[in-house]
Structure 1
């Protein structure tokens, strides 16, 4: 097993899921290590992603922990074999690790959902809009820092355009559409971009209007990445210090419910497009 100084988000999630299986089985690391033929120290290092783990060991561990969810087991096994370096690695040491983790989680997602109150989702931002947002960051960013953030954000958007692009659904509050970042020309171009990208077969954009009688989860921005099985889903929340990730099954169920409720108050895609056009015409 090779050590990893900086485990990736995917490796960290694999270790965390193995720990969950062990804990559900009611085993200590010492008890589990005895069944797996390893030491408690080695097992702990696997669970915190300091060490990698083979597909065979994942299957053995699942059997020792009496896990019968074959779909989950196969999904965990698949996570052991992907050792490719993603494009985000070029930003390691330049951008905060949480942003690299976000790109990696997103890259492996099977579908994506976003709910935003005050900002256009990052995957839907134009270059100029993204640049203006980062210019207003606190603390203030240097010009090179801004350009690194903008180029990173644009590269993330490839998940919407690549071969076998993932389905993406965005729920955007009308307030976010009316927020001004930069000039009227920048704002109009951003709204036109929403109309253009919304034409893609894999992209659905729906607007929650000011007139909505109920707005569950108001004030939150939630990004939900579906894994190969529901147990491997990830919710990402925007924080002032960087992205926060949630993978607790109870919390994931709550965020899925939130999206279901938001769907009931959002305009249809067609009516959402009409509202975007109306707002753009007012600029």
Structure 2
């Protein structure tokens, strides 16, 4: 199988999950290599995502590691094979790698749950709203950088419009809806777009209004990306230094709890739409 000096997030995750299975079986990499009849360096390359592995090889590894979780094994086999290029690959020379990895992660997601306090979710942004955001980035972006980020963001939204769209739940604090990026016309159009998107059967928008005493959200945006099985879930955080990806069991549990709490303190979808309409009228 071909090797890669720049493995994608998906390839790295597959390797990391195979390493977890090996460690849970109590095997060192050298012991696993001997049992599987391969070189230790090959085990290391597979676990780092630098060496592609076939579905049959994943099943062989799972048997050697005594993994009885067939749902997990099948989910891992679905992540195998040679590198399949997606639309996001055309941006690898133009955008930070985290943004490219995020698009790939969203493309394969079984479900998406996002929670934001001061920004509109990226997959619900209009072109004008996103452009206004990128123009306000510090240090300032060059115009060509803005256009690359803009087209990339709009293409990411395709997962909500494909034949089998991704189930999507967005919990947004009222503060984000009142920020007014781009001026009144842009802001009002943005709010109307959210209302339109919220009418889609696979999109749920819930608003946390001002005044909720038990609100325990976080200032950074959270994307909870569900995998085919819970072990393959991923959390993506927006930070000042770029995208941060988390997949530890304790980390996933923490951010599931944060999003659960935000959703529990949000209005139901109908009341959320009513509040969005009132905010648009007030702008």
If the TM-score is normalised by the length of the shorter chain, which range does it land in? over 0.9
Unpaired runs of 5+ residues, structure 2, are none
Aligned 1:6-85 pairs, distance under 5 A: 6-81=6-81, 83-85=83-85
Aligned 1:238-257 pairs, distance under 5 A: 238-257=238-257
TM-score between the two structures when normalised by the length of structure 1: 0.98
The 3-state SS of whatever aligns with 2:78 is: helix
CA distance in 1, matches of 2:218, 2:92: 34
Confirm or deny: 8 A CA contact 2:216 2:262 kept in the other structure. yes
1:206 equivalent in alignment to 2:196: no
| C-alpha distance after superposition, 1:52-104 (max 9, x if no partner) | 11111111111111111010001101111474311101111111111110000
| C-alpha distance after superposition, 1:26-75 (max 9, x if no partner) | 21111111111111111000000111111111111111111110100011
CA distance in 1, matches of 2:39, 2:84: 29
2:110 corresponds in structure 1 to: 110
CA distance in 1, matches of 2:218, 2:73: 36
Confirm or deny: 8 A CA contact 2:114 2:121 kept in the other structure. yes
1:189 corresponds in structure 2 to: 189
CA distance in 1, matches of 2:84, 2:47: 21
| C-alpha distance after superposition, 1:143-197 (max 9, x if no partner) | 1100110110000000001110011000000000011211110110100101111
43-52 or 258-267, which deviates more: 258-267
2:222 corresponds in structure 1 to: 222
Confirm or deny: 8 A CA contact 2:206 2:268 kept in the other structure. yes
The 3-state SS of whatever aligns with 1:235 is: strand
- Residue 124 of structure 1: how far off its partner (Å): 0.4
CA distance in 1, matches of 2:5, 2:33: 23
| C-alpha distance after superposition, 1:106-162 (max 9, x if no partner) | 000011000001000000000000000011111110011001101100000000011
CA distance in 1, matches of 2:194, 2:270: 13
CA distance in 1, matches of 2:33, 2:82: 25
The 3-state SS of whatever aligns with 1:102 is: helix
| C-alpha distance after superposition, 1:244-282 (max 9, x if no partner) | 101111211221122222221100101101110111111
1:150 corresponds in structure 2 to: 150
- Residue 218 of structure 1: how far off its partner (Å): 3.1
Confirm or deny: 8 A CA contact 2:109 2:228 kept in the other structure. yes
TM-score between the two structures when normalised by the length of structure 2: 0.98
53-62 or 198-207, which deviates more: 53-62
Unpaired runs of 5+ residues, structure 1, are none
2:133 corresponds in structure 1 to: 133
